Structure formats: C-alpha cells, structure tokens
C-alpha cells in the first residue's frame, strides 16, 4: 500500500472513531480491553490513556520494558500538538531518524515520530486526549488501538484496518 493510501485510511480512521462521550469509565473499559488482548496474545506493551489534563488508565504487560513509557509519553505529546495519530504523522513526515524537522522546534526528548498514539475525539468537542500503546512495531501499536476503538464503538473494522506493511 502506498504512503498516500495509508494516510487516507488513517484519516478515515480518525474521522470514524469518534466518541459520543468520553470519561473515566470509557477509558477503563478500552484500556482493560487492550490489556486483556495483550495478555491473551502475549503482547509486550504498555497502554496509557489520558485526557490532556490527567491520566485515566495505565497498564504494563509482561515483556514491556522501561523505555516503553517514555516512547508513549513522546507519542502523547505529538497527538497533543498536532491533534492526529502519530502513525499518520510518521507517514506524512517520512523521517527515518524519528525526529521532526529542525524548523518545527520539537525536541526529540519530548516528541517522536512513531506510531501508537491515537487521538481521543469526542463529537462536538474535538480531540480531548490520547490512547497510546508502545512495545510492538509501530504499525502494530497503531493497529491495537484502532482495533480496540472499533470494538468499543461498534464499528466494523474491516474497512479501517491497515493491511500488513509491504516489505
């Protein structure tokens, strides 16, 4: 799949996966669903769900490591700054060093181009937070979040799933 096709599909994911409302109970339900999947599939990830003013859910799975929370933090910062998914940013920027262009003024210690951060958008309110997953290859981190959102929102994910990356 071409980069432009990936970007268009991710934009469709972002436009479709919008919540009617979002609160602590919703964050817990989605976080728990991701955690349950991670345990069932032995995914070595962390899950960090937060609104822009506070954390709402965090879980670290067996096999995750000490760098995963920092990767998630930097992904969260990117979503907060650009209000779109970090994997979309990866595709749009095409920067193999994972950093933003110097002119952006974004320090690599606080911002990273890596998939796995997805905006929490609420109808009528816009983007209010982030769901971040870290520990898998970035396309898979992104997919874990999208799958969980499709399941929670009752959306048929077959039209939204990114195909496996071409090698």
Helices (H), 17-137: 24-41, 68-82, 86-93
Least Cα distance to 10 among 110, 108, 69, 82 occurs for 82
User: pTM score, two decimals?
Assistant: 0.95
The span from the CA of 2 to the CA of 16, in Å, is 21
Q: Are 146 and 160 spatial neighbours (Cβ–Cβ below 8 Å)?
A: yes
Secondary structure element (H or E) that encloses residue 152, with its range: helix 138-153
Domains of the chain: 3-159 (3.30.450.150)
Q: Report which of 149, 132, 130 is spatially closest to residue 46, judged by C-alpha positions.
A: 132
- Render each residue's pLDDT in the chain as its tens digit; 167 residues: 589 999 999 999 999 999 999 999 999 999 999 999 999 999 999 999 999 999 999 999 999 999 999 999 999 999 999 999 999 999 999 888 888 988 889 999 999 999 999 999 999 999 999 999 999 999 999 999 999 999 999 999 999 999 888 76
Token pair in block for residue 44: 């070595």
Which of helix, strand or coil describes residue 95?
coil
What is the structure's pLDDT at 4? 92
Helices (H) and strands (E) in the chain, counts: 5, 5
Q: Which two tokens stand for residue 90?
A: 């990866």
């Amino acid at each position: 799949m071409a980069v432009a096709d990936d970007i268009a599909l991710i934009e469709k994911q972002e436009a479709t996966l919008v919540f009617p409302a979002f609160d602590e109970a919703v964050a817990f339900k989605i976080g728990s669903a991701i955690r349950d999947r991670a345990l069932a599939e032995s995914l070595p990830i962390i899950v960090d769900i937060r609104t822009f003013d506070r954390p709402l859910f965090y879980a670290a799975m067996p096999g995750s490591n000490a760098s995963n929370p920092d990767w998630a933090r930097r992904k969260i910062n990117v979503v907060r700054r650009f209000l779109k998914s970090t994997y979309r940013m990866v595709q749009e920027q095409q920067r193999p060093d994972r950093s933003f262009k110097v002119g952006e003024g974004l320090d690599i210690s606080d911002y990273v181009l890596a998939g796995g951060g997805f905006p929490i958008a609420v109808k009528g309110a816009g983007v209010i937070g982030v769901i971040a997953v870290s520990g898998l290859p970035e396309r898979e981190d992104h997919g874990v979040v999208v799958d969980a959102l499709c399941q929670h929102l009752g959306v048929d994910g077959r039209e939204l799933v990114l195909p496996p990356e071409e090698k």
